[in-house]
Amino acid sequence: MNEVEKYENIELIKEEVDALKDLEKYFGVPLPHIEKIAWEDFKIDEETHQVEKFRQHQFGFISEDHHVIALGLSFQSINEKNMSIPDSMPLISKFTDLKALDINSWNSVFSKFIEEYNRRQEAFQKSLSGIYQSVDERRKAQDKARRDLGMPIRGTSHLDLYRELKKLEKLEYLDASNCNLDTFPTLGNMKNLQELDLSRNNIKKIEGGFAGLENLHSLNLSENPITEYPTDLEKIKLLKRLDLSETKIKELPEYVGNLQYLEELTLPLQIIGFPQSFIHLKNLRTLVANDFPDHFKELKNLETLIISSGKMQEISSSLTQLVALNTLVINNCRSLKKLPENLGNLKSLKELQITGNTSLEYLPDSLFDLKELKTLNLYNNNLKHFPDKLANFSRLEILTLGNNKLEHIPYSVFKLNNLIDFTIENNPLELNDKLISAKTLPEIKEYSKKKMAINVFISHAVADYEPCRLEELGAYLEAQLEIDNAYLCERDLSGNIDGFMDKFVPKSQLVLFIATTTSVDSKDCGYELQLSQEYAVQVIPIKAKELDWGNLAKIGLNRELGIECDFSDDDKFNEFCTNLYDYIKQLKRQIDLHDKEQAKIDRLTVGLKMIERRIESIEKKIDDLEKNK
């Protein structure tokens, strides 16, 4: 039975306690017992507001049944100022049950050896091309440089690392990223290896390095100067995750489709053409590429799609056949001018990021059919208009509209009850919107609620349509920022008049009642007023000159919120339209037309204020009469 000792209050077999003490001397700090050596984490880029994934590293060890099974030795996770870089490779192979090893950022460990090796190579090359006074001097200089090449180099080399790794037959996880590796040898003895990270190295070509790794599930080769797709990958049948981003690979072989278990694939952005064999990647869940060719529509199980740095002007509408998508990112496609019109078919979409596409000016209307969205990031495009239909996004939590060409806040933002983050900086907003955009979200919502566009129903007698110039009035109102629709039966009616009234009065936030001698006796107008009361829609009576306010009192309308108009005076019609819109805006600030329960309270408040003003006016008249006695 193996002798057991304690290290950091953890019982381990004596040989591994001794090995940990050696590592402690090597690094100059003790190794703590930890729960995990590395994990994926997320952060939000402060400029683009995009969520970025990165790997966290922790220094220490994990044990199980008196054996060290995981070592976190990343130089990124400890204070390098407190350690000296030793001249020899730590004997990691003493941990015979090791399943996970993190040596991220060991480039400094190998730097002394690499610098000395490069210095000797450079000296030898100079000896070959140098100018000498004699043949004997040349021979002596070259012999010395050649001898130097063969002399041992003090320092840790990659070969020392490879010798240790080959002994770790139980290893399942290896992170050797950012180690300045220029080659990777065959590790066929690592039959249990499942996850291998070789990112951020200097590997130009891989020949035979993956032979025998039949259980490998995850391989990260990103940020290496690899120019050709590794041929050995065809043999790794169980591979589920492959990252080739920021390599120099330009072409993919047809046999890429043989990786039928592949679930995540990240490709370099200079890839030219995609083999038809992609259609065989039926298990693919995540894809990062620079284009979306038509045959990608066969990837029916795709859940995350990132299209980056493409040169296309529009994206194929076949993308919208990927109904399983829940995340779609389209970024830095500088020439992109058009998104698929039927984008709204992606009903499962929860995250949509359209960023850095500086030629994109408009969005498809169907965007607002994506009712499951939680994140909508439209940062740094060239959007000049954003339809005010945010109420469709009842689940939205993050909305980013910064760095576009928008002139107004989308006022329907106040309807987003689940919203926790909203940004619209660096847009040419009109002054009031710009000032409010720098305030807190509750303040922005309150402001937007008052400026949100409303639907207006114009209630009138058919005989008054032309004499009161209602077609012109409706057109004027719809051209204003805070009016969405102005409903008129002559223009908008389809079907019977009762159906029109039943549909559009409840849909409106304001009814303009054109009060004339004809309309006050009209059965249809009376029904519209009844609907207004039933659905708590605010009514503004617009009294024609020939009527008295007493005529309107008989049908339940009063002068407190009403205005007058001489429809026979053509010269003042434009002035009336302007004054009416100003009055509507003022009313919107006083009465919450979007919340009918709150509107009832607001109407009482406004009514009381009007009564107070009327009482003050009467009292003033009484005072004036008494003074004149």
Nearest to 287 by CA among 273, 272, 318, 308: 308
Amino acid 2: pLDDT: 74
Which tens digits make up the pLDDT trace of 495-510? 889 999 999 999 999 9
Q: Cβ of 266: how many Cβ atoms within 10 Å?
A: 19
Amino acid at 337: K
Does the structure show a pLDDT above 80 at 625?
no
In the numeric block, which tokens belong to residue 264? 């995540």
Which tens digits make up the pLDDT trace of 444-497? 999 998 899 899 999 999 999 999 999 999 999 999 989 999 999 999 888 889
User: Which of these ranges, 22-36, 182-196, 412-426, has the smallest mean pLDDT?
Assistant: 182-196
> Given phi > 0 = left and psi -120 to 50 = alpha, else beta, which region is 4?
beta
Q: If you ran DSSP here, which 8-state letter would residue 290 be given? A: S
Residue 137 — very low, low, confident or very high, per pLDDT cuts 50/70/90? confident
Residue 245 — very low, low, confident or very high, per pLDDT cuts 50/70/90? very high
Reduced to 3 states (helix: H, G, I; strand: E, B; else coil), residue 343 is helix
Q: Residue 240 to residues 89, 218, 233, 358: CA-CA distances in angstroms?
A: 32, 6, 12, 34
Which tens digits make up the pLDDT trace of 224-242? 999 999 888 888 889 999 9
Domains parsed from the chain with CATH numbers = 285-451 (3.80.10.10), 454-612 (3.40.50.10140)
Residue 607 — very low, low, confident or very high, per pLDDT cuts 50/70/90? low
- Residue with the larger pLDDT of the pair 205 and 416: 416
Report the percent of the chain where pLDDT is more than 70: 89
In the numeric block, which tokens belong to residue 382? 């060239």
DSSP for 101-146, please give it: EE-TTTHHHHHHHHHHHHHHHHHHHHHHH---SSHHHHHHHHHHHH
Nearest to 88 by CA among 27, 150, 7: 27
Per-residue pLDDT, averaged over 97-110, amounts to: 89
Nearest to 98 by CA among 165, 1, 187, 186: 165
Amino acid 509: pLDDT: 92
Which tens digits make up the pLDDT trace of 317-363? 999 999 999 999 999 999 999 999 999 999 999 999 999 999 999 99
Does the structure show a pLDDT above 60 at 81?
no
Nearest to 331 by CA among 349, 350, 305, 301: 305
CA angle 56, 270, 284 (to 5 degrees): 60
User: Cβ(182)–Cβ(107) under 8 Å?
Assistant: no
Does the structure show a pLDDT above 60 at 80?
no
Length of the chain: 629
Amino acid 33: pLDDT: 94
In angstroms, the CA 150 to CA 146 distance is: 7
User: Cβ(110)–Cβ(179) under 8 Å?
Assistant: yes
- Contact residues for 162 (Cβ-Cβ < 8 A; gap 6+): 185
Reduced to 3 states (helix: H, G, I; strand: E, B; else coil), residue 560 is coil
Q: If you ran DSSP here, which 8-state letter would residue 95 be given? A: -
Does the structure show a pLDDT above 60 at 599?
no
Q: pTM of the prediction?
A: 0.80
Q: Phi and psi at residue 180, in whole multiples of 5°? A: 60, 30
For 313, counting Cβ atoms within 10 Å of its Cβ (0-12 exposed, 13-18 middle, 19+ buried), the class is exposed
Beta bridge partners of 513: 459, 541
In angstroms, the CA 448 to CA 450 distance is: 5
Nearest to 552 by CA among 579, 514, 599: 514
Amino acid 322: pLDDT: 96
Amino acid 494: pLDDT: 80
Does the structure show a pLDDT above 80 at 211?
no
- State the average pLDDT for the chain: 88
In angstroms, the CA 186 to CA 546 distance is: 99
Q: Phi and psi at residue 544, in whole multiples of 5°? A: -70, 160
Reduced to 3 states (helix: H, G, I; strand: E, B; else coil), residue 20 is helix
User: Cβ(602)–Cβ(499) under 8 Å?
Assistant: no
Name residue, tokens 């908008």. Answer: 492
**Dihedral (CA of 455, 456, 459, 462) sign:** negative
- SS3 letters across 145-189: HHHHHHCCCCCCCHHHHHHHHCCCCCCCEEECCCCCCCCCCCCCC
In angstroms, the CA 395 to CA 373 distance is: 6
Does the structure show a pLDDT above 60 at 614?
no
Q: Residue 416 CA to chain centroid, in angstroms? A: 17
